[in-house]
A and B are shown apart, each in its own frame.
Chain A
């Protein structure tokens, strides 16, 4: 049985958590940008 190595598992989880955190920050940043520039809707 070939197993996913430790570095893959660690990288996958940390990468996903970082991306999700960055996602929340990005959404808030985009909202501020839209609010101060072009209309939000």
Chain B
């Protein structure tokens, strides 16, 4: 990409990348001193407080999509676009009671896949493992690819270099520090992101009043203010269910529930939902401001950075670069840690190290994280654009896991057979809907089918699960 087309000077981009890269790795190694054993490495000693617990949920859920795609959503779908994005916070709110329950019934647990194995048995475990790994790996690939592309657009850093550096930095500090490093860096990243988006938004409001932006939209693009914007309203429901499915099933969120102190999980997830809620609106507002400021938008996916740079000059470009880098790192490190935990305890351990103790599993977890990073890098290397969109196929899959997980956590009569059928048929039906009806129906149909099967299973099932079986398991002891 020619340098003139970039928003930030490439040299400055490299300097920032180096500074933050060295910073995160140093912190990871420093915090890694506490991650010598499996409890420390995978669940941060199960003693995380409210500040770090809240921040890690906020930072992880703010992906580069939140900061980059929200302005594009607003520019194309208007106010409903911003609100649709904000509904992803509902997943955080709904996970709050689940986090408390998870911590209470699995005091020595490590992953969501472990829960499904103990709660529903081997078949459900296999199905859920496939869903979990597909989701985590596609999310990670899409984030790493987005990182490479964004650094190229923002600072002219070639895709392969940018993607490789971001991935390598996250792998190294996660490898050394485990969840301690992930949660610690997440705190710093969440504060940087929140301050960054606020500064840019206030600067834009200093340049043009909100009343003028509204008046401009009424005159030139009234569709963006339409209360009944059908496509945007459908996007809202799909986004909400996809978001709920992502959070309820994924070990990214379960590992944090295991890591937080027993009295912290519920409060942390509720507060995280409140803190995350405004981000898509604040970022999305930049998209709506662009037409009113007469800023020519040739590429809608970079409308946010363009507006920030127009208003704040090079300071705006640096802010956007830093916010995007933090958004990427905070998600990639969490995915590395959470996926590494699942692969180590639920794939490597039963297949290759059935008698391994916690110390051996701690060492294996490091190799697994390095391996996941390498596989992700190899998949991202050719920069096949369609790969990133594969993540959207995960909508029906994760939607179909919502009710088996939720009922499995709270109802002793939730049936294992129904859980398997709900996940398999829900995923299949949702994927058919995705391709035959439209992308916005995939998660909705998958969740609907799964809900019906789960409820019927619970109604006709005669078995009663013994909750003590969950508490009794302690991997590697």
Which residues of A line the B interface, CB within 8 A? 1-4, 6, 8-10, 12-17, 19-21, 23-24, 26-28, 30-31, 33-34, 38-41
Q: Majority SS of interface residues in chain B?
A: helix
Cα–Cα distance between A21 and B195 once the two chains are bound (Å): 7
**Chain B neighbourhood of A41, CB < 8 A:** 34, 44-45, 47-49, 52, 180, 183
Given contacts A2-B228, A3-B218, A41-B183, contact A24 B52 (CB under 8 A): no
A-B contact pairs, 11 of them (CB 8 A): A2-B227, A2-B228, A13-B285, A17-B282, A23-B58, A27-B54, A27-B191, A27-B275, A34-B51, A39-B47, A40-B51
Q: Is the CB of B49 within 8 A of A39?
A: yes
**Shortest distance in angstroms between A31's beta carbon and chain B's nearest beta carbon?**
4
Instruction: Evaluate contact between B210 and A20: CB separation under 8 angstroms.
Output: no
Q: Tell me the B residues contacting A by CB distance below 8 Å.
A: 34, 44-45, 47-52, 54-55, 58, 79, 82, 180, 183, 187, 190-191, 194-195, 197-198, 201-202, 205, 210-211, 213-215, 218, 222-223, 225-228, 261, 271, 274-275, 277-279, 281-282, 285
Complex CA distance for A26 and B215, rounded to whole angstroms: 34
Inter-chain contacts of A6 with B (CB < 8 A): 210-211, 214-215
Q: Which of A8, A9, A19, A30 contacts B277 (CB 8 A)?
A: A19
Which B residues lie within 8 Å of A20 (CB)? 194, 197-198, 201, 275, 278-279, 282
A2 to chain B, nearest CB (A): 4
Residue contact A1 to B214, C-beta cutoff 8 Å: no
CB-defined contacts of B191 to chain A, threshold 8 Å: 24, 27-28
Q: Knowing A3-B218, A23-B278, A41-B47 touch, does A34 contact B225 (C-beta < 8 A)?
A: no
- Chain B residues with Cβ below 8 Å from A13 are 201, 205, 210, 281-282, 285
The residue of chain B having its C-beta at the shortest distance from the C-beta of A6 within the complex is B214
Of A21, A26, A31, the residue contacting B187 (CB under 8 A) is A31
Write the nearest CB–CB distance from B287 to chain A, whole angstroms.
Answer: 12
Task: Report whether B180 and A23 are in contact in the complex, using a CB–CB cutoff of 8 Å.
Answer: no
Taking a contact as CB atoms under 8 Å apart, the answer to whether A27 and B210 are in contact is no
Alpha-carbon distance between A39 and B260 when the two chains are bound, in angstroms: 11
The answer to whether B211 and A12 touch across the interface, beta carbons within 8 angstroms, is no
Residues of A within 8 A of B215 (CB): 6
Docked complex Cα distance between A21 and B230 (Å)? 32
CB <8 Å contact, B194 and A21? yes
Q: Are A17 and B225 in contact (CB under 8 A)?
A: no
